[in-house]
Structure 1
Amino acid sequence: MTVPGRRSSTFTRLLRHGFTAPSAAERLLESVELAPIRSDPVLLDALGATADPDLALHGLVRLLEAQPTPTARRELLDTLISAKPLRDRLLGVLGASAALTDHLARHAGDWQALVTYEQQDLHPGVEEFERQLAEAGDPVSLRVAYRRCLLSIAARDVCGTIDVAQTAAELADLATATLRSALAIARAAAPDDAVHCRLAVIAMGKCGGHELNYVSDVDVIFVGEAVNGTEESKAVQAATRLASHMMRICSESTVEGSIWPVDANLRPEGRNGPLVRTLSSHLAYYQRWAKTWEFQALLKARPVAGDSELGEEYIAALAPLVWQAAERENFVADVQKMRRRVVANIPVGEVERELKLGPGGLRDVEFAVQLLQLVHGRSDTSLRSGTTLDALKALAAGGYVGRVDAVQFDDAYRFLRSMEHRLQLYRLRRTHLVPQDEADLRRLGRSLGLRADPAVELTREWRRHTSAVRRLHEKLFYRPLLDAVAQLAPGEARLSPEAARERLVALGYADPAAALRHLEALASGVTRRAAIQRTLLPVLLGWFADSADPDAGLLGFRKVSDALGKTPWYLRLLRDEGAAAENLARVLSAGRLAPDLLMRAPEAVALLGDGDGLEPRGRAHLEQEILAAVGRADNAEQAVAAARGVRRRELFRTAAADIVGSYGTEDVPALPDQGALVDLVGGAVSDLTAATLAGTLRAVVRANWGDTLPTRFAVIAVGRFGGHELGYGSDADVLFVHEPREGVDEREAAQAANRVVAEMRRLLQLPSADPPLLIDADLRPEGKSGPLVRTLTSYAAYYRRWSLVWESQALLRAEPVAGDEDLGRRFVELIDPLRYPAEGLGEDAVREIRRLKARMESERLPRGADKTLHTKLGRGGLSDVEWTVQLLQLRHGWAEPGLRTTRTRDALAAACAAGLIPTEEAAILDEAWVLATRVRNAVMLVRGRAGDTFPSQSRELAAVGRYLGYGPGHVGDMLDDYRRTTRRARAVMEELFYEA
């Protein structure tokens, strides 16, 4: 007897074994019939190992009570105590499924179906299930036999004898056997119908894919044919009666409940179409009317019941259509749209709990796998499996999905399917909603082996796997490469040598033999790298061909692949990450500069896959990185080499952003506003140049003076550098200014300043394969005849006594970029009165500027150059626009703050806003300036060296045209448009500048 207020040892044991209602359990165990359980620690341990010990004990009591005689009860208890396999299986089911407990309570002898534990019985197939269902001659007995078979599957599942994939396959096999038995009952009930038709049952969906749930609709399609001279219409009617009866047998409820609904809504025309069609009718429908999703559904189709020969004919006839579906217009977009529609239709309150349809759910895995199968399976038959996990394994083996991604997808799918199985097993009800009740979560977690804090652990693991599925689904399902592969003709998706040669010639490769050698080097062999290359190359070839020089693009790709081919992330990046592959194709085939930069730093290809990878870094970020690299170097030469390394990478980033923005890709449309690309390049290259000069200055000072230079020193950018308008090949126009520190002799300070300048120029001119960075100080006072560096006082004296109007004009774009910030600020204060003179320019100064411009036009244009096509000095080119804007700044800058900017386009916009130039004329000048700048950038990208006019070589000229948005055959239009634009700009310039 238990003393009041004191817990018994049984109570404590039950609590320790996971019972949540130990008092109720203790009262049950006090009965005489359960004395063997109460006294047997093994049985208590077994109960404690179940998903819900309280449920298992209640179920066992019900099962014992249901036994017809005391002898039967004793036999059950003795077997439980002596036979561990039965004990684990029976108690496991009782603790996981209230519905199967109900079945056992109604059919007290069915527990003996779990006694057998022979190896060959662990994984029964369709034939074994058919034998177990064979005695069922009516719908009621079929339901009982079905539940008995289900009981054995559940027992193996909860005991871990089979994994989730095997469980799903066994459930599909049981469904197959049940459909066959139901059809046999229907045939027996209507023998006349049976002899007049052939009827094949085609499983679809999860049943067709050998991955069925415990409770699910079984999707089918029926195919009927006439026999024995029967008219087709009568045969179809007979087959329809048989099919309808078979569906009722499985779907209708009786005292034993229902088996599951048979759903034929995936048939042609859905519920509005005939239940049974002939094979020719099916074929005609799919050839003419079927939608994209219907071919996706057919991916899992397989014959399961009825006339097997007819079923195989159906599959053979429709399979080619399935594997051609990806060629349909907008195929990939349609599949993606359908998935989004499914998510949109989930009730708002259920989205986050939806295990199957919600974001990160099972359907995300299935849709991603199916889309990849349909796109790549056209040419790779190894991918044509109807089972999700098998297909995923094949996709990984073929290189279409990364190994790590495939493992994560597989793990997540198995976990989510296990959750779904155990969720449905409890009541044998169709549900995909994760419960909110704590007890339900606890039971579900324990059923999956989580013990410490089952509800919390389950929620954490579920969220982790859902998050992984969301990420991978977005990565794979919306992969831009998919749509490009889908658009290839069937023979192009996998390139044979013959097909490759024909495709190369058709795409415009000038040297198909060399291109073939590159393809063979990249894609031959059985390695995983070669398999991924075989997936990428057919698409890349098309992207290369969309350039002026496909051969150069392919050659560049081979070089990059040779350099990075053994790097594990390289091909994975191209296959998986956004528009990386297309970006690389555009960059490699657009000219020489970007590929040359990339070959000197192949790892920079990673920038093409990062969503923000092509976004230029700001000056502060660049300067911080370069100064840090300089600080780690052992000497000035190493420091500048490190700064050059950053510059090389960032030049590539800018060039790639420029090319991608010009060509456009799926992720980055071509920019309609060409000025935005000009500003991007000008700002990025100018910031990079400033950061490089700051790093070089730090390296020189550190190598020669340690932390402190004897004089304050600043670098002032002028010209296009100061205007944030540098191109890829521009020199850096600068002025150098210094100011001796307190207590330092002026001569010593001047020597230090001059040494700094000399060392900076020497270090930046060391031999290098990188684009040169030349420091040009010719805009300093007295030009080439004057000292390279002056004190601030010397500048003030010179500008006060000797300054000419052209020097004031040059100072309009002066801006400090490196060195002592306070000294730079004071230099700007010094020159502001010169570049924005009070009351503007006098007439003499205006005439002088006009004279200088006219002289430059006549003397500096290279001999033989076409004035209509020279971007800098030609008609309506950069010089015309810039001198016009600068004259407005000199005349009105004192009164209009907006004109006090170093940037040409900003100053032009400010002049327009101030009413100094009409809107239309401002737009004409802006358009010409942007176009001329774009041409200069294009020439550098294409040729790898700077130039102020269009290339003469036809392929280079075509590449410039492609960069500017002109397709093949439109080079003449490009030149005409350039001449037209600059002619209009010249007319505006003559009116505003010369007042003609």
Structure 2
Amino acid sequence: MVAPERASTSLTALARLGFAELSRADAGLDELAELVGIPRDELVADAARAADPDEALAALVRVARRDAGAVGAALRRASLPLWLLLGASTGFADFYLRHPTELADVAAHPTLPDADELRAAMLDAVAVDDDGFAASGDEAAWVALRVRYRRLLARIAVVDLCAPDPVAVLADVAAALADAAGAALEASLAVARARVAGGGIGAGLFPRAQVAATSLAIIGMGKTGARELNYVSDVDVIFVGGADERTTDELGESRVIDIATRLAVQTMRGISGAEVEPPLWEVDANLRPEGKQGALVRSLESHLSYYDRWAKGWEFQALLKARPIAGDTALGEAYVAAVQPKVWTSAARENFVDNVQRMRERVTEHIPAAEVAYQLKLGPGGIRDIEFTVQLLQLVHGLADDRIRQRGTLPALDALVAEGYIGRAEAGTFAHDYRVLRVLEHRLQLRDLRRTHLMPEGEQARRALARASRLADTAGGVWDLWESIKREVREIHVRLFYRPLLSAVAALPAGEQTLSAEHARDRLAAIGFRDPAGALRHMAAVTSGLSRKATIQRALMPVMLHWFADGVDPDYALLAYRRISERLGDTPWFLRMLRDSSGAAERLTRALSGSRYIGELMEWIPESVAWLDDSAQLRPRTGIALQEEARAIQARHDTIDDASRAVRALRRRELLRLALASVIGTVTIEELAHGLTVVSEVTIQATLRAVRRDVVPPEDAALDFSVIAMGRFGGAELGFGSDADVLYVYDPNGIDPQRAHELSMKLVAGLRTHSEDHRVPFELDADLRPEGRNGPLVRSIEAYAEYYRRWSVSWEAQALLRARGVAGSVKLIRRFTALADEVRYPVRIDPQDLREIKRIKARVENERLPQGVDRSRHLKLGPGGLSDVEWLVQTLQLEHAHAVPELRTTSTTSALAAARAEGLLPESAAEHLAASWRLASRLRSANTLLSGQTSDVLPTDRGRLDGIGRLLEYAPRSATAVEEDWLRAARRARRDFEKLFYG
């Protein structure tokens, strides 16, 4: 009897070795030592390496009670492999309990068996003759087959468990498992031949000669076909029957298929049927034509007929991994060769991508809610996410690129990377995570030698999984690893599996998924390029060469050409794309983003083909392409953020030229952001107008600070100077191409008046000079100042007050309705605003002033319209245009704003809404006027975006009208609809305007 103190020490040592049930382990070791004649210390030398030492010890004791000699010999010869195997698998413990003598083979072979070795071993187990018949067709042959298979499976498992890095050997282990499954089916088919020929299920069922003359090819599908099988997994197969021409003529095809069907049934039974030795795994033939309802065996011609006429997209996806694994190799190869072209053209079927995506979603939806968090294979972030992503990429791009036609997931990933269809980082993550998930899956299945894909819930089971896989140290660690991989895989899966590029490539017409020079010019002309020769040159410039950049460009170009062609100006779009690509050079993120983004490539083609304004700016700011991958980047930036950046610019640059250059760059960048947002549709017309106004304000403010620092010496710092926005600028209603109407005001504030005026003139000159931008013109237009072009360019606040008090005319009061301070002295802006309020919101307006305003409006309509322009197409001055709405609203403000505070706004639309709310405008008239004003504003901006040039005239060219319509989200070829919508809106607005303004 062990002393208490020694027993405690012994139990402590067992705990250090990883045993959990210490007393039971202590007793078990004593019993095992006595049974096998090996000292305890030697028995437990390798126990610490076992995933579950308690289970391993219990298994050894159970088997030793039955055959102590077999256990003792195995422990002396292969202690570590035995502890590793039994500590990871109670299923093998049960196997050795049934067949203790099989322990003699444990670790007898330190390497993985190859396919030929596995086949020879399995055929030897059932004594197959030269004609492919087993020596016996009785149940004993099946038992021998299953025992031999499990011996080979144990050999694979030992090599796997002993490997220093189980992740590194995963691919080789999975391939060996697939080869073992093929070998088992080959042996079972040999037994089936013996049975069908009368050796086990009734003498003379079919003559041996007829059975021998009948061919049966077993096609491995899924993981078996790809040589990436699990330890215990359904083996998906398709059976193809046949015979040579002479035999078919003699027996008839129906009898040949009948014999082949009997062979298939018995082959499946030999693997999966209930016998003394448990089944190996399920042989699943449900991927055959018509599934469970279809014939188990068909001839090759029958298979092909079905695939040509009836097969659905998912069936071709399943055939992607098809490989002959047993039976008649020639027939199997003929089957695979015949179906492969159908597999690689399946993506061209209508809605193929959508159907694959939906199929993956259905798999997830059918997982029981309680299992979702534990589903290693089918759940979000699991093995299926990787497999479906890889298969979809293969099927879509594989039609045109045979280099990615790989059966295995890992070889396919390597090929997709090499050919530029997936980024190295994403592929590397997928490959690593796939291997880790498969190692975890293997260890889970080894546990009980049964099919499972669920992470264990119990602490002890997770601990055993962590130790068996050697991927983590603790139960919590292996769960954290699973959660981390799940998030990582899901993120990449969603980004790649649902990217629009896949649907677009799949939808390309046959023959247009590659860029062969032959017939390329005709194809380009056919899809809408006006200069196919030029387009070919641009394509060659971006796709030629052996670099990875060129490889990715070649993958992108076919579908991008179609997206370009869907736009208004594909020729310009392709030229702009080439220039942007060249400007970005070898920047790694650019092409990766276009390939992998959820929509950046399509947005880029849409923007470039729809807007020269964008193309010209993007050529100078190519990094802006990155914004297309992030909707948040296509939102207008706040005035505060832009002000902070502008002030930082001023702090960084010492000279006015450098500071102004940086401010101009800021303005161009933000105009491009707003232009992209407008084309992509992430801003409303109100947000766009506000954003353009803010950019103009910040530009003026920053430029004024820089100019003031350069012009005004410290001794004159008391000078106050401000810029007042007028017109649409004052109303915060700018569009693309709008001028910035302004007034300039100063207050000497104690400085000599003449000196103050001179400095103010220098500020104005500097402001105008340094805000000029030859790329995106920015004109500060001061024509709305008192006396117009004949008046002083800048006045003091007192001069303005004097002028408005003594000489102001009606149109000048009207102009002040949209006056709003935007830059310079806040105190001076307040004074000017108070002055303006006295003029623009009179207690009572003189009727004569109203008549004068109406007279001027009529004169403007007659005199300011450009010669030769159709009045009805002029968006600003034409009938129902911007001018009509603004002049009507402004007369209402002059008449009623003193009494109605809501009318005291510089915004036309806000004033129009206030007039409507106060009953100053009929509901219908207000709706018509607002609709016309908004549409005219949108058309003006769209015209500028399309052409890159400012114009107030709705073009007559049908192509330009269609382009404008596209920017306003009309359907393609909507030139007539755009024109009719404008003319209708303008007629309604003009009718209401004339009634209310002149009536």
TM-score by length of 1: 0.92
Number of the residue aligned with 2:130: none
Residue 188 of structure 1 corresponds to: 194
2:431 corresponds to 1:414:
no
Give 1:689's aligned residue: 696
Structure 2 residue 215 is the aligned partner of structure 1 residue 215: no
Report the secondary structure of 1:491's partner residue. coil
Amino acid at match of 2:76: D
Q: How does 1:630-709 map onto structure 2 within 5 Å?
A: 630-661=650-681, 677-703=684-710, 709=717
Query: What is the aligned partner in structure 2 of residue 664 from structure 1?
Result: none
Give the 3 Å change call, closer, same or farther, for CA 913–205 of structure 1 in structure 2. farther
For residue 744 of structure 2, give the secondary structure of its aligned residue in structure 1.
strand
Q: CA deviation at 1:147?
A: 1.3
1:901–1:432 Cα change, 3 Å: farther
Structure 1 SS opposite 2:998: coil
Please name the residue that 1:932 is paired with.
936
Residue-by-residue CA offset, 1:822-879 (whole Å, 9 max, x unaligned): 55345434433433334x6442222121011112112222223221222221222211
Q: Do the aligned partners of 2:219 and 2:326 also contact (CA within 8 Å) in 1? A: yes
SS of equivalent to 1:868: helix
Equivalent pair of 2:711/2:762 in contact (CA under 8 Å): no
Report the alpha carbon displacement of residue 694 of structure 1 after superposing the two structures with TM: 2.1
More displaced 10-residue stretch of structure 1: 26-35 or 105-114 = 26-35
1:444 offset after TM fit, Å?
Answer: 0.9
Point out the more displaced range, 820-829 or 92-101. Answer: 820-829
**Contact 2:364 2:378 survives alignment (8 Å):** yes
Distance, in Å, in 1 between the alignment partners of 2:900 and 2:363 is 59
Distance in 2 (alpha carbons) for counterparts of 1:48 and 1:702: 77
Q: Which moved more, 1:223-232 or 1:145-154?
A: 223-232
Structure-1 residue corresponding to 2:511: 491
Could you tell me which residue of structure 2 aligns to residue 128 of structure 1? 118
Aligned residue number for residue 815 of structure 2: 810
Following the alignment from structure 2 to structure 1, what is the Cα–Cα distance between the partners of residues 150 and 784?
94
Distance 1:466 1:788, change over 3 A: same
SS in structure 2 opposite 1:831? Answer: helix
Change (3 A) 1:782 1:44: farther
Task: Name the SS for the 1:589 alignment partner.
Answer: helix
Change (3 A) 1:822 1:483: farther
Match of 1:718 in 2: 726
- Do structure 1's residue 238 and structure 2's residue 234 form an aligned pair? no
1:558 aligns with 578
Match of 1:153 among 146, 156, 159: 156
1:517 paired with 2:519, answer no
Please show how residues 455-854 of structure 1 align to structure 2 within 5 Å: 455-661=475-681, 677-703=684-710, 709-739=717-747, 753-765=760-772, 768-792=773-797, 794-821=799-826, 823-825=828-830, 827-838=832-843, 841-854=845-858
Q: Specify the SS of the correspondent of 1:613.
A: helix
State the secondary structure of the residue aligned to 1:25.
Answer: helix
Match among 408, 413, 421 for residue 392 of structure 1? 413
Shift of 1:336: 0.9
| 2:724 counterpart letter in structure 1 | I
Distance 1:141 1:341, change over 3 A: same
Partner residue, 1:665: none
Cα distance in 2 between the residues matched to 1:35 and 1:754? 110
Cα RMSD for the two superposed structures? 2.7
Give distance in 2, aligned partners of 1:760 and 1:165.
69
2:235–2:283: 8 Å Cα contact kept in structure 1?
yes
- 1:684-708: CA deviations, max 9, x gaps? 2111111212222332344566999
- Aligned-residue offset at 1:970: 5.7
Determine if contact 2:563/2:602 at 8 Å carries over to the other structure: yes
1:335 counterpart residue number: 356
1:761/1:269 CA distance change after superposition, 3 Å = same
The AA in structure 2 aligned to 1:685 is L
* Offset from partner CA, 1:946-984 (integer Å, 9 cap, x none): 122245777656544543566776645644543343233
Cα shift at 1:45? 5.0
**CA 417–990 in structure 1, closer or farther in 2 if over 3 Å, else same:** same
Give the match's secondary structure for 1:498: coil
For 2:80, the equivalent position in structure 1 comes to: 88
**1:143 — aligned with what?**
146
Task: Find the partner of 1:225 among 238, 242, 253.
Answer: 242
Contact kept, 8 Å, 1:133 with 1:145, in 2: the verdict is: no
Paired with 2:825 and 2:458, the residues of 1 have a C-alpha distance of: 67
Amino acid aligned to 2:872:
T
Shift of 1:36: 4.3
In structure 2, relative to structure 1, the CA distance for the partners of 1:247 and 1:128 (3 Å cut) is: closer
Q: Deviations over 1:488-530 (max 9, x none)?
A: 1231111100142221121232222222122222212222111
Partner of 2:202: none
Q: Distance in 1 between matches of 2:430 and 2:562?
A: 31
Change (3 A) 1:231 1:24: same
Name the counterpart of 1:83: none
**Residue 178 (structure 1) aligns with:** 184
1:63-74 equivalence runs, <5 A: 63-69=63-69, 72-74=70-72
- Structure 1, 247-256 or 25-34: larger mean CA deviation: 25-34
User: Does residue 919 of structure 1 match 2:923?
Assistant: yes
For 1:865 and 1:358, how far apart are their aligned partners in 2?
Answer: 65
Partner in structure 2 of residue 114 of structure 1: 106
Aligned residue type for 2:40: R
The answer on whether the counterparts of 1:126 and 1:176 sit within 8 Å (CA) in structure 2 is no
For residues 968 and 95 of structure 1, do their structure 2 counterparts lie closer, same or farther at Cα, with a shift above 3 Å needed?
closer
Distance in 2 (alpha carbons) for counterparts of 1:850 and 1:424 = 89
Report the Cα offset of residue 730 of structure 1. 1.7
Question: What's the offset of the Cα at 1:44?
Answer: 4.1
Deviation by residue 1:25-48 (Cα, 9 ceiling, x = unmatched):
3333345437745334xx645221
2:73–2:104: 8 Å Cα contact kept in structure 1? no
What stretches of structure 2 of length at least 5 have no aligned partner?
127-135, 198-205
Q: 1:77 to 1:463 in 2, by over 3 A?
A: closer
In the alignment, what sits opposite 2:73? 75
Paired with 1:126 and 1:744, the residues of 2 have a C-alpha distance of 102
Displacement of 1:533 after TM fit?
0.9
CA distance in 2, matches of 1:233, 1:422: 45
2:383 alignment counterpart: 362
Paired residue for 2:279?
Answer: 258
Work out the CA distance in 1 between the residues paired with 2:123 and 2:754: 108
Q: Which residue of 1 aligns with 2:41?
A: 39
Secondary structure of the residue aligned to 2:952 is coil
Q: 1:589 to 1:51 in 2, by over 3 A?
A: same
Cα drift, residue 334 of structure 1: 0.9
Asked whether the 8 Å contact 2:38–2:72 carries over to 1, the reply is no
Return 565-574 or 732-741, whichever deviates more. Answer: 732-741
For residues 44 and 244 of structure 1, what CA distance do their matches in structure 2 show?
47
SS at match of 2:915: helix
Greater shift in the superposed pair: 138-147 or 891-900:
891-900
Structure 1 position 199, deviation (Å): 2.1
SS at match of 1:698: helix
- The separation in 1 between residues aligned to 2:852 and 2:10, in whole angstroms, is 110
Distance in 2, Cα, partners of 1:197 & 1:898: 94
| Alignment partner, residue 199 of structure 1 | 216
Q: Offset at 1:97?
A: 0.8
In the alignment, the residues of structure 2 paired with residue 738 and residue 126 of structure 1 have an alpha-carbon distance, to the nearest angstrom, of 96
Q: Deviations over 1:611-637 (max 9, x none)?
A: 323222222222222222222222222
- Report sequence identity in percent: 49
- Aligned to 2:108, the other structure's residue is in SS state coil
Q: 1:19 to 1:197 in 2, by over 3 A?
A: same
Once structures 1 and 2 are overlaid, which stretch shifts more, 392-401 or 529-538? 529-538
| One-letter code aligned to 1:89 | P
- Aligned residue number for residue 451 of structure 2: 430
| Residues 874-907 of structure 1 deviation map (CA, whole Å, 9 limit, x = unaligned) | 2222111211222223333344444333222333
Instruction: Check whether the contact 1:958–1:971 (CA below 8 A) recurs between aligned residues.
Output: yes
> Structure 2: which amino acid aligns with 1:864?
G
Number of equivalent positions = 965
